[in-house]
Amino acid sequence: MEVEVKLRLSNSGAHQRLSDLLSPFHCLTHLQSNLFFDTPTARLSSNLTALRLRFYDN
């Protein structure tokens, strides 16, 4: 199971501070690729929805 947390950071300094805070807990980096799908009229994204396929480590 995956839990994803999205944070809206105000600027690059906030990103750096968060990265510095979390870096001691980093254990492993996964290479990933994502494919996003939507209709030609962007029906999903206009409703704040996403359809994604995510692939890990090839």
Cα 9 to the chain's mean position, in Å?
Answer: 13
Helices (H), the chain: 12-22, 43-46
pLDDT tens digits, one per residue of 12-53 = 999 999 999 999 999 999 899 999 999 999 999 999 999 999
Q: Report the C-alpha gap between 38 and 36 in whole angstroms.
A: 7
Residues 22/15, Cβ–Cβ less than 8 Å: no
**∠ CA 31-38-7 to the nearest 5 degrees?**
55
**pTM attached to this predicted model:** 0.56
